[in-house]
Amino acid sequence: MRSFQRRLAEFESRGVHLAAISVDSVDINSGHCRKMGFSFPFLADSNAEVIRRYDVLHPGAGPKHEDIARPAEFYIDAGGIVQWVNLTENIAVRARPEQALQAIDALKR
């Protein structure tokens, strides 16, 4: 996510707003954002309602076997339609900003 933060201006220049969502509480997310220097919204979904809706719940995968969100990146257009998705089962594997930017550029042509 730090790499997305570093390239935030490139997303914004395309009219794309970044946001993150996790099962962590507002307080935990706020502290994480301060620590990491994230300036985009970090949303709390403590009941995993949205995370379930997007089918990215990873049951029991947290450090204490709690449910967490699978790593995933979505590009959702202004009409609320999911246009691009990157899903992975490996918490260490995520899309790079350049992958997301290329997908967004290809869709906007």
Domain residue ranges of the chain, discontinuous segments joined by +: 2-108
Q: Tell me which residue of 91, 55, 45, 101 sits closest to 71, measured CA to CA.
A: 91
Rounded Cα gap, residues 39 and 53, in angstroms = 25
Residue 18 has pLDDT above 80, yes or no: yes
The pLDDT tens digits of the residues spanning 31-69 come to 999 999 999 999 999 899 999 999 998 888 888 998 888
In this structure, are residues 107 and 75 in contact, taking their beta carbons and an 8 Å threshold?
yes
Q: Burial-class residue 67 by CB neighbours within 10 Å (0-12, 13-18, 19+).
A: middle
Question: What percent of the chain has a predicted confidence (pLDDT) above 90?
Answer: 67
Class of domain 2-108: alpha beta
pTM given for the model: 0.84
For residue 60, what pLDDT is reported? 87
Identify whether the C-beta of residue 21 lies closer than 8 Å to the C-beta of residue 50: yes
- Res 59: pLDDT: 87
CA distance readout (Å), 79 to 17, 34, 37, 82: 14, 31, 30, 9
The token duo for 62 is 């947290």
The two structure tokens encoding residue 6: 């570093």
